[in-house]
Each structure stands twice: as C-alpha cells, then as structure tokens.
Structure 1
Amino acid sequence: MGLDPGKETQHAALDKIRKRVIETIGRNMDLYGISLSTGHLYGLLFFADKPMTLDEMGSEMKMSKTSMSTGVRTLLDLKMVNKVWEKGSRKDLYEVEYDWYQTFTDFFDVKWRKSVESNMTVLRKATEEIEKMEKEYAEDPEMAEMLRKDKAKLRDAFAYYEWLDRLIDTFENGDIYKLVPKVPPREN
C-alpha cells in the first residue's frame, strides 16, 4: 500500500528542498577541506530522522561502503559526526553533531592552533638565526639593514600569530560567544 498521491507530492517537494540544501552544504564543505561526496554524506545525516549505518548511507547515496567509511571517518575526526550506540544493533551507527557552534569551534581550534604553533616556531627560529647574523655582519651596513628589516617583519608576523593564538583561546574557552552571542534556535 503506497502513499496517496497528495502525500507523494508533498514528500517529493520536501525531498527536492532537502536535496538542494544537501547539494549546497556539500559544495561548501571545501571550506573545511572536505570533499563534495563527504559533504553530501554530512547533509544526508543532517536530515536523517535516526542514526544511520554505513550500509544505509551507502544505499541512500549509491556509494561503496569503503567510500562511506572514509567519509564518516573524516567527519568523525572533525567532530562533525558522532558514533552512537543503539540497543540491539551490532553495527556502528552515526549521527550528525547538531551543535554547529561547537563543530566550528572544534574545527577552528584543531586546524588553526596547529598552523599558529608551526608558524610561531619557524618565526622564533628565524629570529634567532637573524640575531646571530646581526653579530656576524655588524660591520656590513647593507647586510645589517636587510637583517634589521627582516627582523622587523618577523616581529610583526609574530605579533599577528600571538593575536591569532588569543583569538583561538576565545573559541576554546567560549569567550567568543560573549563578543558574538549565539543566535538562539527558533521555536518550531
């Protein structure tokens, strides 16, 4: 027994809306370094009414279990998807993390903190090397001037990364939401 024609039309209209959202989310996930297909997977989980297995996702998206597994692993690593347990199920189940603020914060923290630390380490080392060279070339005005200018550039870059480090701290400790409050969810 199928749905009546009116319900089928309603479901088709809703599916069309969902597909448009999923497609857009998928296209824009490159901001997070996520492939289009993994972005689509996220969109599928976003609209799922219950946690899904890899088999269910693969069937729905017409993708192999290997592709699904790789996509889910990426989303798990970025904390955009959670593995959940369901009584009576032997298979792993996955659901989307609906706290988008936390998802962004986790992503921002992981990616940016790593970059900031790496850049600050290189800047410190370069500054130390330039300071050694300044002693070596103290009698060479042209080289001394180039070293002075480079050291100033490194100092400015380091100041920026210290600022960025503090910005990341505001995400980690939640102070960012004092500056830019979360928008409360709308009532249904």
Structure 2
Amino acid sequence: MSDEMDSIEEARDIMISALAQSMVIYGVTPSVGRIYGVLYFSTEPMTLDQIKDQVAMSKGSVSNGMRELLETDMVTKVWKKGERKDHYVADKDYLRNFLTFFVNKIRQERNLIMKGTEQAQPKLEKILRESSDDQVRAEAENDLNLIKNSHQYFDWTTSLANAMESGEIFDFLPKPKKDKGETP
C-alpha cells in the first residue's frame, strides 16, 4: 500500500474513533460506534465478516451491534446481486440520524413515564379520596400535582418529536445548505 493510502487509512481510523466516542454521548457503545464508522467510510456495502475484520470484534458482537444500528435506521441491509450474504450500508445523513434517534428516545421516555403514571395515579387518587390522615392526603396530592405537571413537559416533547418527524422543525431551524460536490 502506498504512503498516501496509509495516510487515508490513518485519517479514517481517527474519524472512526471520533465517531465512536461521540456516539457514547448518546448512549451508544463504542463498539457499535466503530461499526457505524467503518460503514460510514466504506464506499461499498459490507458483509458482517468484512465488518468483523475491520473492527476486530467477534461476529456475534458485530451482529448484535448491527441489530442496534438497524433498529435506529442508521444502517440499512442491502441486497447485492450474486451474493448470498447480507450486506450493509450506513445512512450518511447525520441530521436524519440525529432526528430519528431523538424522536425514538422522546417517544420511549414518554411511554415509560405514561405507563408509570397509569399505575401510580389511581393509587394516589384512592389515597386522596379515602385517607383520613391529612399528612398522607397532602403527600398524595403533592405527588399527583407533580405527575400532572410533568404532562406539560411530555406534551411539549411530543410536539417537538412530531415537528422533527414531519420536518416542520425546519421552518424554525433551517437545514444547513450542502456544499457543492458534497455527498448526501
């Protein structure tokens, strides 16, 4: 390999490492980040075996990481004519990846809290109705108010997720313009 190609590989390794580290901020493991980074800089669809060799991980770990990336739509499985193995490509649109990731997280958060509310609220309402202890009733009423106040936050985040999903958010925060010659 030429010195120039070695330098390109070195630069890619630096960027793959940076991608992996930045994805940790969003709760993604460094190994999954490295898998994404390898696919991001690949000019051709890759098989699990090819990815495994690039990231020096077991095939099982690569397969698990790939499943996580597929679930978040950061990677797509593609068919390659004449080949039996699955091939994968990275979605190289950072903005779309960011929006998809956060919409999913916002919806997960809301679902978890709403399930908790469905279980906790009736208990607190029953205590508020039936308890003769003023202190207990005050505690139950306080907790109910906290739950009800949290709904404003979840309504707002749902509106944010909907605006992100529909693209309406770009009416307020326009997408950055692409440079000429930049790949999508």
Q: Residue 82 of structure 1: SS of its match in structure 2?
A: strand
**1:11-160 equivalences in 2 (<5 Å):** 11-137=5-131, 139-160=132-153
Which residue identity does 2:172 align to in structure 1?
L
Structure 1 outlier segments of 4+, above 3 Å? none
Which residue identity does 1:26 align to in structure 2?
A
Which residue identity does 1:102 align to in structure 2?
R
Which residue number in structure 1 is paired with residue 159 of structure 2?
166
Q: CA offsets, 1:10-36, max 9 Å, x none?
A: 222222221111001111222343221
Instruction: Please report how far the alpha carbon of residue 101 of structure 1 lies from its aligned counterpart in structure 2 after TM superposition.
Output: 2.2
Structure with higher Rg: it is 1
Q: 1:26, 1:35 within 8 Å by CA — same for their partners in 2?
A: yes
TM-score by length of 2: 0.87
Corresponding position: 1:180 with 2:145: no
Give the direction of change, closer, same or farther, for the CA distance of 1:135–1:67 in structure 2 (3 Å limit).
closer
Give the direction of change, closer, same or farther, for the CA distance of 1:60–1:146 in structure 2 (3 Å limit).
closer
Give the direction of change, closer, same or farther, for the CA distance of 1:166–1:60 in structure 2 (3 Å limit).
same
Query: Identity of paired residues, percent?
Result: 31
Instruction: Please report how far the alpha carbon of residue 124 of structure 1 lies from its aligned counterpart in structure 2 after TM superposition.
Output: 4.3
Q: 1:26, 1:43 within 8 Å by CA — same for their partners in 2?
A: yes
Partner Cα separation in structure 1 for residue 135 and residue 51 of structure 2: 65
Partner Cα separation in structure 1 for residue 107 and residue 95 of structure 2: 17
Give the direction of change, closer, same or farther, for the CA distance of 1:67–1:145 in structure 2 (3 Å limit).
closer
Instruction: Please report how far the alpha carbon of residue 46 of structure 1 lies from its aligned counterpart in structure 2 after TM superposition.
Output: 0.7
Counting matched residue pairs gives 181
Partner Cα separation in structure 1 for residue 175 and residue 62 of structure 2: 32
TM-score by length of 1: 0.85
Gaps of 5+ in 1: none
Instruction: Please report how far the alpha carbon of residue 97 of structure 1 lies from its aligned counterpart in structure 2 after TM superposition.
Output: 0.7
Partner Cα separation in structure 2 for residue 176 and residue 87 of structure 1: 39
**Farther off after superposition, 66-75 or 124-133:** 124-133
Which residue identity does 1:163 align to in structure 2?
W
